[in-house]
Chain A
Amino acid sequence: MQLHRPEVLTELTALEAHLLVISFAPLEHLRLWVPHFQENFLEPWYAEHAQPWPADLFARTRFLTDPNLAAYHAYGLGRNSVVKVYGPGILWQYVRWGIQGKPIHKPTEDPLQRGGDFVVDRAGQLTLTHLGRDQADRPPIADILGALGRLAPDAQNKAILPSESP
């Protein structure tokens, strides 16, 4: 969600950066999920914060499917433990979504599969790798933007936003 907030989109444009959002869900599931994500997570946030709806919201984003987990495994993303997946952080996130009225569905894909965040610079080298401690742990947006701009490591540590979902 945070990667599609107005100030982040502006920064991505300034950096000439792009986002590849990768899912291990089958292509037909992912195609249905993208408008669901927009309707239930993005549109309410823009309405709540009285922000104008951007005409080119996904101009810098592509949604990719990796049902065979080939890319997940290439980036070291195996399966999490049951204890970590259903720890306090992720349970609290679901409670918050429930309070906010966001729909919570029983997962149809493997709930133990890990996610992660990486940044690739213009030379094709990794400038950020992040595997969360648990399912709710994502890197601060400032870290991602810092890595996209190839800022010094100490500058990347200055978080401007709390972490949440993509």
Chain B
Amino acid sequence: MLKQIFIGEKRPVPKIGRLAPPFALSATEGELIRLEDYPKPVALVFMRHLA
């Protein structure tokens, strides 16, 4: 509990120069988007909770 309040949960972040971790996620149109097949360059914006 105290750890979550003051420190949070840390995970290893992929470094610059490394291959981007692949993923396959559904788009709002229903289509499955695979990062490895998607046109690049591409910016990935991971949002926090919806405002």
B26 touches A112 (CB 8 A): no
A107 touches B43 (CB 8 A): no
Contact-size category for B: 35 or more
How many angstroms from the CA of A21 to the CA of B44 in the assembled complex?
6
Within 8 A of B (CB), among A5-41: 15-25, 27, 29-31, 33-34
Complex interface: chain B residues within 8 A of A15 (CB)? 41
B8 touches A129 (CB 8 A): no
How many angstroms from the CA of A63 to the CA of B31 in the assembled complex?
10
Chain A interfacial residues counted at CB < 8 A:
73
How many angstroms from the CA of A23 to the CA of B51 in the assembled complex?
11
Complex interface: chain A residues within 8 A of B18 (CB)? 125-126
Complex interface: chain B residues within 8 A of A109 (CB)? 49-50
Complex interface: chain A residues within 8 A of B43 (CB)? 3, 17-20, 117-120, 128, 144, 147-148
Interface centre among B7, B17, B35, B50, by most chain A C-beta atoms within 10 angstroms, is B50
- Whether a CB of chain B sits under 8 angstroms from the CB of A54 is no
Within 8 A of B (CB), among A66-86: 66, 70-84
How many angstroms from the CA of A21 to the CA of B27 in the assembled complex?
9
A81 touches B8 (CB 8 A): yes
How many angstroms from the CA of A71 to the CA of B22 in the assembled complex?
8
Minimal beta-carbon separation of B44 from chain A (angstroms): 4
A30 touches B28 (CB 8 A): yes
B33 touches A20 (CB 8 A): yes
How many angstroms from the CA of A54 to the CA of B35 in the assembled complex?
26
- Whether a CB of chain B sits under 8 angstroms from the CB of A142 is no
Which A residues form the contact surface with B (CB < 8 A)? 3, 15-25, 27, 29-31, 33-34, 62-66, 70-84, 97, 104-105, 107-129, 131, 135, 144, 147-150, 165-166
Contact sample, A vs B, 8 pairs, CB 8 Å cutoff: A19-B42, A20-B43, A29-B50, A62-B33, A74-B22, A107-B50, A115-B47, A144-B43
